[in-house]
Structure 1
Amino acid sequence: MKKGEIYEGIVEKIDFPNKGLVCVDGIRVIVKNAIPGQKIRFRIHKKRKDRCEGILLEVLENSPMEVCPPVCKNFPACGGCMYQTMDYGDQLSMKASQVKELLDGALKKSGQVDSQGGAEYIFEGICPSPLQWGYRNKMEFSFGDSYKDGPLALGLHKKASTYDILTTDDCKIVHSDFTKILKCVLDYFTLYPQPFYRKMQHEGYLRHLLVRRAQVTGEILVNLVTTSQVQPDLSGLADKLKKLPLEGRITGILHIINDSLADVVASDETRILFGNDYFYEEILGLKFKITPFSFFQTNSLGAEVLYSLARSYIGDTKDMTIFDLYSGTGTIAQILAPVARRVIGVEIVEEAVIAARENAALNHLDNCQFIAGDVLKVLDMIKEKPDFIVLDPPRDGIHPKALEKIIDYGVDRMVYISCKPTSLARDLEVLIARGYRVERVKCVDMFPGSVHVETVVLLSYKKPDSTISVKVEFGEGESKVLLDNIAKRAEAYKPKERVTYKMIKEYIEAKYGFKVHTAYIAEVKRSLGLPMYDAPNAVEELKQSRKRPTAEKVEAIKDALKHFKMI
Structure 2
Amino acid sequence: MRCAYFDAGVCRSCTLMGTSYDRQVADRDARARAALGPGVDWLEPVTGPDHGYRNRAKLVVAGTVEAPTLGILDESGEGVDLTDCGLYPPSVVAAAHELARFVTLARLTPYDVPSRAGELKYLLVTASPDDELMVRFVLRSTEAVARLRKHLPGLRERLPRLTVASANIQPVHAAVLEGEQEIPLTSSTELRMHLNHLDLRLPARSFFQTNSVVAAALYCQVAAWVDGCAPATVWDLYCGVGGFALHCAAPGRAVTGVETSEAAVEAARRTAAAAALPGTRFLAGDATAFAMGEPAPPDLVVVNPPRRGLGAELAGWLETSGVRRVVYSSCHLPSMERDLAAMPSLRPRTARMVDMFPQTAHLEVVALLERQDR
Q: Aligned pair 1:226/2:139, yes or no?
A: yes
Partner of 2:370: 460
**What are the Cα deviations for residues 27-74 of structure 1, in whole angstroms up to 9, with x where unaligned?**
xxxxxxxxxxxxxxxxxxxxxxxxxxxxxxxxxxxxxxxxx6x23435
Partner of 1:565: none
Letter of the 1:243 counterpart: E
Give me the whole-angstrom Cα distance separating, in 1, the residues matched to 2:318 and 2:113. Answer: 39
Partner of 1:134: 52
TM-fit CA distance, 1:197: 2.7
Q: Aligned pair 1:208/2:95, yes or no?
A: no
Give me the whole-angstrom Cα distance separating, in 1, the residues matched to 2:62 and 2:156. Answer: 25
Gap change, CA 1:162 and 1:301, over 3 Å in 2: farther
- Larger displacement relative to structure 2 (389-398 or 251-260): 251-260
TM-fit CA distance, 1:83: 2.1
TM-fit CA distance, 1:460: 1.1
Give me the whole-angstrom Cα distance separating, in 2, the residues matched to 1:218 and 1:173. Answer: 15
Give me the whole-angstrom Cα distance separating, in 1, the residues matched to 2:183 and 2:168. Answer: 6
Give me the whole-angstrom Cα distance separating, in 2, the residues matched to 1:273 and 1:121. Answer: 49
Give me the whole-angstrom Cα distance separating, in 2, the residues matched to 1:140 and 1:251. Answer: 18
Contact 1:72 1:170 in 2 (8 A): no
**What are the Cα deviations for residues 380-418 of structure 1, in whole angstroms up to 9, with x where unaligned?**
333353111111111111121121122222111111101
Letter of the 1:445 counterpart: D
Give me the whole-angstrom Cα distance separating, in 1, the residues matched to 2:358 and 2:164. Answer: 29
Gap change, CA 1:145 and 1:400, over 3 Å in 2: farther
Contact 1:317 1:340 in 2 (8 A): no
TM-fit CA distance, 1:91: 0.9
Contact 2:91 2:131 in 1 (8 A): no
Gap change, CA 1:269 and 1:218, over 3 Å in 2: same
Partner of 2:25: 92
TM-fit CA distance, 1:202: 4.7
**Residue 342 (structure 1) aligned to one of 254, 272, 277:** 254
**Residue 83 (structure 1) aligned to one of 16, 35, 53:** 16
Q: Aligned pair 1:444/2:362, yes or no?
A: no
**Residue 308 (structure 1) aligned to one of 198, 220, 242:** 220
Matches within 5 A, 1:419-498: 419-432=331-344, 435-464=345-374
TM-fit CA distance, 1:157: 4.1
Partner of 1:71: 3
Structure 2 unaligned residues grouped into runs of 5+ = none
Matches within 5 A, 1:11-90: 70-75=2-7, 76-90=9-23
**Residue 282 (structure 1) aligned to one of 182, 188, 194:** 194
TM-fit CA distance, 1:92: 0.4
Q: Aligned pair 1:144/2:62, yes or no?
A: yes
**Residue 293 (structure 1) aligned to one of 190, 202, 205:** 205
Q: Aligned pair 1:325/2:198, yes or no?
A: no
Letter of the 1:71 counterpart: C
Q: Higher Cα Rg: structure 1 or 2? A: 1
TM-fit CA distance, 1:322: 0.5
Contact 2:102 2:155 in 1 (8 A): no
Question: Secondary structure in 2 aligned to 1:127?
Answer: coil
**Residue 166 (structure 1) aligned to one of 62, 71, 80:** 80
Structure 1 unaligned residues grouped into runs of 5+ = 1-67, 105-118, 465-567
Partner of 1:526: none
**Residue 181 (structure 1) aligned to one of 55, 72, 95:** 95
Gap change, CA 1:273 and 1:282, over 3 Å in 2: same
**What are the Cα deviations for residues 101-121 of structure 1, in whole angstroms up to 9, with x where unaligned?**
3333xxxxxxxxxxxxxx222
Letter of the 1:285 counterpart: H
Give me the whole-angstrom Cα distance separating, in 2, the residues matched to 1:340 and 1:418. Answer: 28
TM-fit CA distance, 1:332: 0.7
Gap change, CA 1:342 and 1:260, over 3 Å in 2: farther
The alignment's TM-score, normalised by the length of structure 2, stands at: 0.91
Contact 2:77 2:114 in 1 (8 A): no
TM-fit CA distance, 1:320: 1.2
Contact 1:376 1:399 in 2 (8 A): no
Gap change, CA 1:199 and 1:229, over 3 Å in 2: farther
Contact 2:36 2:348 in 1 (8 A): no
TM-fit CA distance, 1:323: 0.9
Question: Secondary structure in 1 aligned to 2:293?
Answer: coil
Partner of 1:416: 328
- Larger displacement relative to structure 2 (229-238 or 414-423): 229-238
Partner of 1:406: 318
The alignment's TM-score, normalised by the length of structure 1, stands at: 0.61
RMSD: 2.5
Give me the whole-angstrom Cα distance separating, in 1, the residues matched to 2:276 and 2:306. Answer: 28
Q: Aligned pair 1:354/2:266, yes or no?
A: yes
Gap change, CA 1:279 and 1:341, over 3 Å in 2: same
Give me the whole-angstrom Cα distance separating, in 1, the residues matched to 2:155 and 2:107. Answer: 17
**Residue 258 (structure 1) aligned to one of 132, 147, 170:** 170
Gap change, CA 1:374 and 1:250, over 3 Å in 2: same
Give me the whole-angstrom Cα distance separating, in 1, the residues matched to 2:76 and 2:338. Answer: 28
Gap change, CA 1:452 and 1:164, over 3 Å in 2: farther
Contact 2:256 2:281 in 1 (8 A): yes
Question: Secondary structure in 2 aligned to 1:235?
Answer: helix
Question: Secondary structure in 2 aligned to 1:126?
Answer: coil
Contact 2:300 2:324 in 1 (8 A): yes
Partner of 1:55: none
TM-fit CA distance, 1:125: 4.3
Give me the whole-angstrom Cα distance separating, in 2, the residues matched to 1:325 and 1:101. Answer: 26
- Larger displacement relative to structure 2 (320-329 or 310-319): 310-319
How many residue pairs align between the two structures? 372
Partner of 2:72: 156
Gap change, CA 1:170 and 1:321, over 3 Å in 2: same
Give me the whole-angstrom Cα distance separating, in 2, the residues matched to 1:157 and 1:400. Answer: 36
**What are the Cα deviations for residues 521-556 of structure 1, in whole angstroms up to 9, with x where unaligned?**
xxxxxxxxxxxxxxxxxxxxxxxxxxxxxxxxxxxx
TM-fit CA distance, 1:278: 1.1
- Larger displacement relative to structure 2 (71-80 or 283-292): 71-80
TM-fit CA distance, 1:436: 2.0
